[in-house]
Amino acid sequence: MSSNLYFDYQATTPVDPSVSKVIYDSLKSDWGNPSSPHEFGIKAKLTIENARKQVGQLINSKATDIIFTSGGTESNNIALFSGLEHWKVQNLKKSNKALPHYIISNVEHPAVAEPVKKMVSDGLVTVSYLSTNKDGTVDTDGISMELMKHPNTIMISVMLVNNETGVINNIKRLVQLVREFEQGRERMGCGRSSGNRIFVHTDAAQAIGKIHVNVVDLDIDYLTIVGHKVYGPRIGALYAKNTGIETPVFPIVFGAGQERGYRPGTENTPMIAGLGKVSIYIIKNLYFFFLGFAFDVYLSGNHANDKEERVVSSLQDPRKLGLLLDLVTKLAENGIFIGRGSACHSGISKPSPVLTAMGVDNDTALTSLRFSVGRETSASDVDIFVSVYYQSQRSVLMDHMLNNSTSLPHASPFANLKK
């Protein structure tokens, strides 16, 4: 092949040239410390505050509700640990010795699942999990039962768009059910006993730049934003509704008072400027981005037929290929670069927990590949992918056949795929 083709856009994206220019210009002109009172510091501070407004406009929030972070993992951790710290403060002088309870889905990204797992192992919280339907959506209607079983629930976290399947979860419905539960509890005279207002967080890393995200419409308490998934820099932000007043935010690192004390550390002004720029770029072009993804790809089977509720940028090939890593290597040798599950833990030889939660058998989940497209991907690129994939698979299977004396299948894995 004369050029390489990238099909791993859900892992990361190239920085848009207009964003790169803003970052470069800021590197040259905004080098002052934003905390300094002189003109160099003030200039850098103004750049940061302008970017804060731009990120707020992207999700329809107040600028003051945006906190800049190093990325999605830090944003998620701040939100999750803030719930725990809030519980501690509210129950400091009360006799309630029960642990706070967290509810998350069983398909959350490790940046959510692992912090909660750590809190559980440290004996700080208890946790229960919302199940996943066969179509990949989280069973948000199950939240009411979970809340009745766990009256000490303080935090709920469900991702807006799944990073492996592209499924869009009904976060608005989830929040509505939580608020209805709280209202019912108050009508029964329970009030917000034990200080356990229920906070709802969503990781929107795979949603921003692909679907319209409006925090007022979602009525969400916390929302995570990631720059490098949307042609921006490798930093992030956390939205917290009416920060520090209606929604608590506690730092997870400690130092000086940057970001109003919520996220200490000298701000990365150029990257923040880049995140602001990409936010405005998305606002102006989201409709056209959506049109660019609007070619239909259908897979045979029961796990990829709900295209109305899915971000159309990924294709799972659940074929039992055996030497999967050899196939990925062969594709790379032929200029095709794809992902396998979540890029953040793709080196682990375990079945995709997302697919197994959907009811996919372990063998199929273990041999699934993630193919995701971006703004630069054309229909002809997809045609090339299909052709090279088939040739690469035949090559890998031929080697496997020669080494193991097995027969080579004659049918293409894409025999039932229609475009």
Q: Where are the domains of the chain?
A: 17-284, 289-402
Looking at the domain that runs over 17-284, which CATH code has it been given?
3.40.640.10
Between the alpha carbon of residue 182 and those of residues 48, 81, 147, 235, 282, the distances in Å are 37, 22, 9, 35, 35
CATH architecture entry for 289-402 = Alpha-Beta Complex (3.90)
Tell me how far the alpha carbon of residue 269 is from its chain's centroid: 24
> Which residues have a Cβ under 8 Å from the Cβ of 387 and sit 6 or more positions away?
none
- 222-226/236-240 β-pairing: antiparallel
Measured between alpha carbons, how far is 23 from 227 in angstroms, rounded to an integer?
Answer: 13
Catalytic residue among 344, 384, 386, 417: 344
- pLDDT at residue 8 above 80? yes
What is the arithmetic mean of pLDDT over 64-74?
Answer: 98
Residue 344 falls in the annotated catalytic set: yes
Which stretches within 205-297 are classed as H helix? Answer: 215-218, 269-292
Q: What is the pTM of this model?
A: 0.88
Q: Which two tokens stand for residue 16?
A: 């848009």
| Position 121 pLDDT exceeds 80 | yes
If you ran DSSP here, which 8-state letter would residue 303 be given? S
* pLDDT single digits (tens) 346-371: 455 677 888 889 888 887 777 778 88
Lowest-pLDDT range of 36-40, 92-96, 117-121, 392-396: 92-96
